[in-house]
Amino acid sequence: MVDTLDEVPPSAMRDKWGWFVGLGILLLICGCIALGNLFIATVASVYYVGVLMLIGGIVHLAHAFQVRGWEHILFWVLSGLLYTLAGILTFANPLLASEALTLFLAIALLIAGTFRVWVGRKLKPERGWVWIVISGLATAVAGIAIAVGWPVNSLWILGLFLAFDLIFQGWTLVAFGLVLRR
């Protein structure tokens, strides 16, 4: 398998260290802005998901007419219509969409955390298994905390996740750029 990073000469990346730092600073600023107004950040993330659903719906509908046979066309058309309808409903009622996405997030975290605890317990004879269990417990507790605060926390929880993601990406790119500079 070819590693694409091996194809980029180290000097080419080193010469662009300032771009990494600049992008990191921009992401840090965006993350702080999102952290300053979690409601607006939540609405922005819901609209982002809505746009993705609309695009997915349109692509499904376009694909439906490339498929042969009615049973296949019907599946793709229905799938496309559902995606498109979900996208439209997201724009029509972003607060309801944020409630649904927050509940889905809570359920996903709870399931992922429970699965990680199970995997960690299966690895029990191995060294370090407890870290996997701790990670799973933290994820499951986050899911439970979100579920307990639902639907009220749906006004800000998605924005909080977006803000933290932007901040962590920003710090990572700044650190990477500064390491490249050395």
Distance between CA 15 and CA 172 in Å, rounded? 18
Q: Is the pLDDT of residue 7 over 70?
A: no
**Using CA atoms, how far apart are residues 177 and 145, in angstroms rounded to an integer?**
36
Mean pLDDT of 171-176: 93
Percent above pLDDT 70 for the chain: 94
Contacts of 72 (CB under 8 A, 6+ apart): none
* CA-based nearest residue to 87, from 59, 112, 120, 116: 59
Residue 2 has pLDDT above 60, yes or no: no
Percentage, residues of the chain above pLDDT 90: 75
The CB density around residue 91, as the number of other CB atoms within 10 Å, is 14
Q: How many CA atoms lie within 13 A of 7 on its CB side?
A: 4
Res. 112: pLDDT tops 90 = yes
pLDDT band of 102, cuts 50, 70, 90: very high
Residue with tokens 């609209």: 47
Instruction: State the pLDDT at residue 171.
Output: 95
Give the pLDDT band of residue 168 (cuts 50, 70, 90).
very high
pLDDT at residue number 128: 87
